[in-house]
Structure 1
C-alpha cells in the first residue's frame, strides 16, 4: 500500500502535459499515458515541463514523470463508467490534449520505491505559442504587501539590499533553487520582470518570505508586453507565472521595453560592496536574529492593521443597516461579509419583503459612499444567457446588449479596476439560474485572467459597427462581486447542484418585531456624516487585502472527518448527492477568512457552513432521506444519523443551526413526503 511520504512534502507547483507516448520509467518499466487501474479508476501520466524540487531521498529515475487520476479533474471532465474502457480512455485523452496541467507533486512510498502523484490540479488551455515539451521556468509574482513592499520603489530598495521582499508561495525554496527572474505586479495590472544573466546567486526562505542575493551589476528591469501573454500561464492564486525558459534568454528579453534603473542601482552598489567586505559569521548571526525579530514584529503589526481596517468596515456596514432600518443579527451581517469576501457568489434567501435586496445595497454603500451597485431584476422568460447579455443583429451588423445593463456595467468595471462593483440579481430564481447564468457559473472558478464571458463569436467582430464598444468577450475583473436574492415559493425554481456548489446560500433570520423598538430607542438617528467618517470607501486592493489567500489547508482533522462522514451518508443514498472537493475548499476558505470578532465564532461559522454549503443539497423523497435526516414526531427527531454525527463531534460545534435545518427537512418529509 502506498503511503504519503511527509519527509519530502513541499508545497510547490509545477506545469506539465499529458504524456504523448509510452515512457520508460525506473527499472525499465513501461509507463502508459492513460490506463484503467485495478480499482477501475482512470489514471494518466504527466510529463513535467518545469523542474522538480530537490528530493533528497529520491533517485533521478524515480522522478521522470507524475501519475494523476481522472477524479482529480472531475470538476471539468466526467468519467462515464457506462462506456467501454477504450471510450473512457479516448474521452480523457481528447479532453486533456489541448490543455496544460498545473499541479503539486506529492511523493508516495511503496515497498518497491517511490513515485509522484499530482494533486491540487489546475487546467490551462494551451496558448497559440505552445510547443510540445518546451521547458518552463517558474517565476514568483510579488505585489503590494503592507508587511514588506508597499510600493514598487520599496520592493526595489529591499531587493537591491538583499532584504526580504515579500511572500512567495508554491516555488522551490532551497538555497540553490532560485528563479532566473522575478515579477512585480503593479496595482494597474502592469507587470515588470527583473532578470539578467546570473543576477541571483542564492535565495533564503523563512516562512514563505523570500530574500535573494543579487548582483547589482547584472540586474535588468523590463516591462512585460502583450506578447508575453501568448507564452505565459499563471496559477489560480496569481502568485506564480510559468514562462518558457527561452523567453528569459537575453535576445528575447531585449524585445521587451527595458526600464533604466542604473541611477537607483548605483545608490546601493557602494553599500552592497561595503556589506560584503565587512560580513563575518558573528555579524550574520546577529543580523539574522534581528531580522527575524523585526519580521515577526512587522507581521504582527500588519495583521493588527488589517484586522482594524476590516472591523472598521464591518462597523460601517452595521451602521448603514441600522440607518436603513434593517434589523438583522450581527452574526448574520458578519456571515454575509465573510461569504462575500471569500467566495464568488452569495445568494440571500428569505421571506419576501424581508430586506434582502436592501441588505446588498447597504453592503455596496459600505464599500463606497457613492456605491457602484447594479440591480438586475430577473425575468421569468429568460431561457439562456442571450436574454441577459444580448445578441448579434446579423441584418444590421450590430451587437445589441441585453436590457439588463449587465454588459455595460462589466465594461465600466474593467475601466475602473480600483473601484468595487456589486451586481445583484433580484429574484434570481424566477428563471433557471443554470441556464441564463451558465457562462458565469463556469468561469467563476477560473484564474482572473481566464474569467472571460463571450458575447459573440470573434469571427463576427470585424463585421459589427459597434465592436469597439462591445468586444467579443468581457473579462470579469476581481473588483466585481456577484450576489442574488431569492424567494422560495411556488413561483420560483429550485437551484441545481451546479449553482449550489458555487454559492453560499444564506437564509436570513427575522428578528422579533419588538426588537425594532429597542433598536430605535437604544440608537439615536445615525447621520450620514458619522457613517462616512467611520471608515473611508475601499478600493479593490484594500478590500481584497481582507481576504486570506493562504493555500494551506486550515480545517482540523475532526472537521474534515465530520464533512467526510456527511458526504458518505449522502452519497450512499444517491451517487449524485454529496460533498465535492470544491465545496470542501470553499468551506476551508470561508473559515480562514472569518474576521476577528466576538459575534461569530469559528464553531458557529462551521455550523453555518454546513447549512449553507451542504445541507442545501439534501433533497429527495422520504424513502431516500429518512434514514439520515430522521423521523419527525411530536416536534422531535428520532433515528437521525445527522443528529448522531452532531453529538459525536460536539467538541467542535453545538451545531444549533444544522439541527434546525435537519429538523425542518424531517418535518417536510413527514408532511409532504419529500424535501427540497
Structure 2
C-alpha cells in the first residue's frame, strides 16, 4: 500500500469539489446500517451520508480509485462534516430525526465541500471523506461542473505574468488538482490551454504554476447574465461553471472569437514590458550563451548542459554530439539503445540522464532493470497469473509496479533502463512491448492476463496497463560472444546510439579544465521532469523533408531493396526520421546543437545502415570490399552517398565510415555485421 505524506494530504483538503447527495441507485460504501444515502452507522455512532462528486477531483484521489478500485462516493459524518449544525441536531438522540434533517437539507442541492483522503495503514484501505460541507442552490439533475481557478489580479497584470512565464498563484486549486484548461480573471475567461503547457513552479509554493508558450492562450469576455445562469458555486479563488457551458459555448467562442495573448503583447503597458525584458535579461545573465532563445528552449538547452556537467562531475566525458543525439533519440523514439565499447559508461549515461530529469528509483520514477540470460519469455520480467491460487504474481524485476506507477502519474516522465538488454533474446522476453510501442498512446495497453480470468488481487493488478507517452525506455547493449544479435524487426523500431570513444588524452584534458566546484546550475532541475513532455515536437513528421530529399531516400531504399527488400528504408523509418529532425534541440548560439545535415547522417547510420549485414555472396555489390584502409569501398551505397544529390543533404561522413567498416569485414571475414 502506498501512503501519501502529510503535506500531500494537507494540499488535497485545501481545494474544493462540488457534488450531490447520492441516490439509492448509486453504488454506496458499506458504512451505513441501512444501505441508504443517509443512514446511521453504529460503527461511527453518528449519521453518515454519501455525496457523488460532479467536478474535478484531486489527482491523488483519482489515482487511488484507479489503483485499488475505491468507491467513488465521498463519505460525510454528521457531526464532523457539517459546520454550523443547529443545537437540536447535535444533542438530539432521535436518530430518525437526524437522518430526516440531513435528507431535507441536502436533497436536490449542490453541495460544496473540501475533499479529504483518509488512509489506514493497518487495514490498507483508503476513504474519501468530506470536510466543511456548504449547501448551495438547487441543482438540476444530471448536470456536472467544471472548476475554474480565479486569480486575484487585473487582466493586464495577469497577461503580463503569462507572457513573462512567471508563476501564477492558483489558490483553492493547488498542485493536488489536475492542470486546469481555463482560468478566470476579472470579466475574462482564458482558455486554449493544454494540460502539458502547465509546469509546476519549482519553489515551495504549492499553489503556483507556470504556462509554457503562453502565446497560444486566448481570452473571451463573460457576460453578467452568463455568470448568473451558469455558475453553480463560487468562492474567493474558485468558480464552478456548468460543464456543458464551458466545454461547448466557451470552447467554441475561444476558437472563433478568442483574442490571442500574442495579439495583446503590443498593448501591454510599459511597466509590464519592462518586467518581461527584466525576466529575459535575468535568464541571459545567468546563461549568456542562450540570448534570444525562448524560455522553453532555454529549459531544454539548460537540461543538456546540466547533463554534460553532471557526467563530468563523475569523471565521465562524452562528446556533446553524442549527448544531443541520445537526448533527441529518446524524444523521438519509444525505444533507444545505447551501444559502444564495454566500459565506456552506457548505463551510467542513461542513469545520469534520468537523474538530471529529477528521476530516481526511490521515487518510483526510474527503474534500472538488469537483464538475465535466463529471460526467455515476457513472464520472466512481468510475472504471471497463478491459476492455482487466482493471484497475480509480479516478477521480482519490479517492472509491473513501475509501469503501474507510470500509468497513474502520467504527467511525470518515467524512465526504464534495461541494462545489458541483449544478454538474452530481446524479441522473446520483450515481445509484447515491441509491437505496442509503435501504436498511438490511446491503443497501448499491455495485457498481463485475460480479462475473463479470475484474479483475486485484481484491485492492485488490473488485467492490463496503459503505456502512456510519459514512459521512456532505454536499453544498453554490448557486442561480444556473450550477447544476442538484434533482429531487423527490433532495429526498425529503435534508435541505436553508438557512443564515441574519446582519446585518453582528450579525457584528461577536459577533466583538468572542468572545475567540479563550479558545476552549472540552471535553477530548473526540479522542473525538468514536469516540462519534459513539452519538449517533444508537435510538428507533422513529413514536413521535415524537402521533395528532393525524399527522392534521394527513395533511391536509397531501391538500392537496398534490390538486394533484400526487407532491409530497405521503410516508411516507419522515414516517419521516425522526421520526428528525429523535428525534435532536434534549438540553440541560437549553436553551442548545444547538431547541424541538420549531421543529424541526418547520424540517423541514417543508426537506423538504416545497422540493418545491412550478411555474407559477401549477397552484399558485395551493395557494400563493396576494401583491400586497404586508405581506399574507398567499391559498393553501390558508398557511391550513392558520394553523389551530388546526397551532398546537398549531408556529407554523410559517419555513414561512410560505417560502410567502410562493413566493407572491411566483408573483405576479411566474408561477412558484414
After TM superposition, is the score higher than 0.5? yes
Q: Which has the larger radius of gyration?
A: 2
| 1:260 and 2:260 are equivalent in the alignment | no
Q: Equivalent residue of 1:484, what SS?
A: strand
Whether the aligned pair in 2 keeps the contact of 1:339 and 1:504 (CA below 8 Å) is yes
Q: Equivalent residue of 2:516, what SS?
A: coil
Q: TM-score, normalised by structure 2?
A: 0.59
Partner of 1:557: 547
- Of 151-160 and 359-368, more deviation after overlay is shown by 151-160
| 1:675 and 2:668 are equivalent in the alignment | no
Residue correspondence of structure 1 range 244-643 to structure 2 within 5 A: 259-260=240-241, 304-368=294-358, 370=360, 372-460=365-453, 463-526=454-517, 530=519, 534-538=523-527, 540-551=529-540, 553-595=543-585, 596=587, 597-598=590-591, 599-635=593-629, 636-643=631-638
Whether the aligned pair in 1 keeps the contact of 2:358 and 2:529 (CA below 8 Å) is no
> 1-side partners of 2:523 and 2:486: how far apart?
38
* Displaced runs of 4 or more, over 4 A: 145-154, 156-164, 184-188, 208-223, 286-295, 530-534
Q: List gaps (5 residues or longer) in structure 1.
A: 1-144, 168-183, 189-207, 224-257, 273-278
**Aligned alpha-carbon RMSD (Å):** 4.0
> 1-side partners of 2:266 and 2:260: how far apart?
10
> 1-side partners of 2:262 and 2:442: how far apart?
40
Q: TM-score, normalised by structure 1?
A: 0.58
Q: Equivalent residue of 1:588, what SS?
A: helix
Q: Equivalent residue of 1:434, what SS?
A: helix
Deviations 1:564-591 (A, max 9, x none): 2111111111121212111101111111
> How much does 1:516 deviate?
2.5
Q: Equivalent residue of 2:648, what SS?
A: coil
Whether the aligned pair in 1 keeps the contact of 2:341 and 2:478 (CA below 8 Å) is yes
Deviations 1:362-410 (A, max 9, x none): 1011100656321111111222111111111111221111121111111
> 1-side partners of 2:231 and 2:470: how far apart?
27
Relative to structure 1, the CA distance from residue 287 to residue 311 in structure 2 (aligned partners, 3 Å threshold; closer, same or farther) is closer
Deviations 1:384-443 (A, max 9, x none): 111111111111221111121111111222333333221111111111111111111111
Whether the aligned pair in 2 keeps the contact of 1:420 and 1:539 (CA below 8 Å) is no
Whether the aligned pair in 2 keeps the contact of 1:479 and 1:540 (CA below 8 Å) is no
- Of 147-156 and 649-658, more deviation after overlay is shown by 147-156
Relative to structure 1, the CA distance from residue 360 to residue 153 in structure 2 (aligned partners, 3 Å threshold; closer, same or farther) is closer
Deviations 1:533-575 (A, max 9, x none): 5432235440011111112521222332222211111111112
> 2-side partners of 1:505 and 1:155: how far apart?
41
> How much does 1:153 deviate?
6.4
Whether the aligned pair in 1 keeps the contact of 2:196 and 2:533 (CA below 8 Å) is no
Q: List gaps (5 residues or longer) in structure 2.
A: 1-160, 171-178, 200-214, 233-238, 281-291
Q: Equivalent residue of 2:418, what SS?
A: strand
Partner of 2:26: none
> 2-side partners of 1:153 and 1:478: how far apart?
20
Partner of 1:663: 660
Q: Equivalent residue of 1:308, what SS?
A: helix
> 1-side partners of 2:552 and 2:296: how far apart?
32
Relative to structure 1, the CA distance from residue 259 to residue 665 in structure 2 (aligned partners, 3 Å threshold; closer, same or farther) is same
Q: Equivalent residue of 2:496, what SS?
A: strand
> 2-side partners of 1:159 and 1:344: how far apart?
43
Partner of 1:112: none
> How much does 1:154 deviate?
7.3
Which has the higher relative contact order, 1 or 2, with Cα contacts under 8 A spaced 6 or more apart? 2
> 2-side partners of 1:447 and 1:148: how far apart?
34
> How much does 1:313 deviate?
0.6
Deviations 1:262-299 (A, max 9, x none): 9x99xx99xx9xxxxxx9xxxx9x9999559789x99x
Q: Equivalent residue of 2:472, what SS?
A: strand
> How much does 1:507 deviate?
0.8
> How much does 1:146 deviate?
7.5
Relative to structure 1, the CA distance from residue 629 to residue 470 in structure 2 (aligned partners, 3 Å threshold; closer, same or farther) is same
> 2-side partners of 1:533 and 1:517: how far apart?
26
